[in-house]
Amino acid sequence: MGGQGPQPEPGEDDTLVARSQRGEVAAFNLLVARYQDVAYALAYRMLGDAEAAADVTQDGFVAAFRAIRTFRGGPFRAWLLRIISNGCHDYWRAQKRRPTLSLDALTSEDPEGDPPHGPMGLLAASATWDPEKTALRGELIELIQRALLGLPAEQRLAVVLSDVQGFAYDEIALIMATSLGTVKSRIARGRAHLRDALQAHAELLPTMKRRTDDLE
């Protein structure tokens, strides 16, 4: 998992939120600086498109600031990411198409073929991307992202938050405004769908490091 690290000091967020509620843009911009990476990464993994992700992120921060006085405490990050994920939904609605491939199309398609989205350029520029890694890894990343885009939106959100971004179940439940049980089952179903989609490309999977410590 990516791992989001520990929650930032809630006190700090609260202070900045309170100042933002008095109209201090500078204080709000400190929150922007703190959370823009995680917000953008979420939008990017949800949409599979760098430009759309940047638009949704920017609009999300504007909407968050304008609505900051309706924020009634709780973790600011979860509130913000809820706005961002709603923005992703709205983006799809506005596009009148979902940037998805059906799982069938994914599993039957030649992975060498022309990719419908072009995240590779973006990945090369991202902080965690190591260009020294083999092309195999790039191909795998491409494959997983496309499989993600084939998931129903709610499963995709749950899986991205959990397994890509490393959020705990309770924060995911806050972001998705639903119960822990629903989160649990969305994650499980999303993983099962992905398993089916990726199984057709099993030859790529053994190259990944196994996580054997989970059950210990």
Partner 1 sequence: MSTHVPEHLADWEAQRDRLSALLDGQLSAAEAAVQRAHVAGCARCTEELEALRRVVSALGELPQPAAPRSFALPLTTALPAGAPAQLPIAAARARRLRWAAVTQWAGAVAACFGFVILSGTFLLGSGYAQKSMANFGAARHEPSGAGITSASQPPATTATPDRSMDATSLTPRAATGSAATATLTPAPTAAPTERTPLAAEPPDARAAARTTGVTLMLGGLAALVVGWGARRRGPPR
- Please report, as residue ranges, which positions from 139 to 198 form the binding site for partner 1 (by CB under 8 A): 140-141, 144-145, 148, 159, 162-166, 169, 177, 184-185, 187-189, 191-192, 194-195, 198
Task: Name which of residues 37 to 56 contact partner 1 (CB under 8 A).
Answer: 37-41, 44-45, 50, 54
Exactly one of 95, 102, 116, 125 binds partner 1 (CB under 8 A); that residue is 125
Main-chain dihedrals φ then ψ at residue 196, nearest 5 degrees: -60, -40
Interacting residues with partner 1 between 55 and 94 (CB under 8 A): 57-58, 61-63, 65-70, 83, 86, 89-90
Asked if 95 touches partner 1 (CB under 8 A), the answer is no
Buried-state track 185-212, b at ≥16 Cβ within 10 A, e below 16: ebbebbbebbeebbebbeebeeeeeeee
Decide whether 18 or 25 has the Cβ nearer to partner 1.
Answer: 25
Token pair in block for residue 138:
């790039």
DSSP state of 161: I
DSSP code at position 188: H
Which range, of 7-15, 25-33, 96-104, 109-117, touches partner 1 by CB under 8 A?
A: 25-33
In the bound complex, what is the minimum distance in angstroms from residue 114's beta carbon to partner 1? 21
Please tell me the number of Cα atoms within 13 Å of 12 on its side-chain side: 7
Cβ nearer to partner 1, comparing 83 with 101: 83
In order of 21, 38, 48, 171, 197, the CA distances from 66 in angstroms are 9, 20, 27, 23, 40
